Chains A and B, each alone.
Chain A
Amino acid sequence: AQKVTQAQTEISVVEKEDVTLDCVYETRDTTYYLFWYKQPPSGELVFLIRRNSFDEQNEISGRYSWNFQKSTSSFNFTITASQVVDSAVYFCALSDRDRSGGSYIPTFGRGTSLIVHP
């Protein structure tokens, strides 16, 4: 099983629609870190958010919001009133340890391509 699953390969919306990108992760570690990154057509990944496993507070930043639920191992990302500039590939990532005392290894999901039409 994949450690980070982004089941939506591609989402297409019209501007001003709300869109939610799903991320489900799998880990046995009790302390882990979750991230979302955006990769626009230019190719450079842009950091969006970092969460540790002890912080389940949802976060809102402008039109972006994140819903972290440990009970379902999900860390979903919602864009409200989408804009054409939001078109990009969005990656969810998990950093955890395979064994106690081991190294943290980042694992990225396969990404969700978001296309926002004008």
Chain B
Amino acid sequence: KAGVTQTPRYLIKTRGQQVTLSCSPISGHRSVSWYQQTPGQGLQFLFEYFSETQRNKGNFPGRFSGRQFSNSRSEMNVSTLELGDSALYLCASSPGTSGGRSTDTQYFGPGTRLTVL
């Protein structure tokens, strides 16, 4: 099976812009989670989607949003970018046996490296 794919792999934006990142889960997986990884804060959970609905949400401002499509593919959007949003954004997929409760084993993609100038 193909693994989790994320596009683009690298992105450079300026403050105030918005960005959309894409994630395609492993075939058959129904749950997609998003994480932000920075040297200062480490790995932090953003949100998880299951059956096109956001099931869990971490402690991030409303500028961070996402959605999931009927084919389980997911997008994450960050509006009004700030310098502190520079990070590696990781997507993870899981079978969804827990119904999007963030208790399943997760399989991570290679990440999108976002740089905000």
Contact = CB atoms under 8 A, between A and B. Distances in A.
Interface of A: 33, 35, 37, 42-47, 50, 52, 91, 93, 95, 103-111
Interface in B88-115: 88, 90, 92, 98, 101-103, 105-111
B111 A103 contact: no
Contacts of A45: 90, 92, 108
A46 B105 CA distance: 10
Contacts of B101: 103-104
A77 to B, nearest CB: 16
Given A95-B102, A104-B56, A106-B102, A47 B42 contact: no
Bin chain B's interface residue count.
20 to 34
Contact of B56 (A37, A103, A110): A103
A103 B103 contact: no
Contacts of A50: 105
B109 A104 contact: no
Interface in B32-65: 33, 35, 42-45, 55-58
A3 B45 CA distance: 14
Contacts of A111: 42-43
A103 B108 contact: no
Contact of A95 (B42, B44, B103, B107): B103
Contacts of B106: 35, 47
A47 B43 contact: no
A108 B92 CA distance: 14
B105 A47 contact: yes
Nearest to B55: A103
B58 A33 contact: no
Contacts of A33: 103
Given A44-B110, A103-B56, A105-B58, 13 more contacts: A35-B105, A37-B108, A43-B110, A44-B111, A47-B108, A50-B105, A95-B102, A103-B102, A105-B45, A106-B33, A106-B45, A106-B102, A110-B42
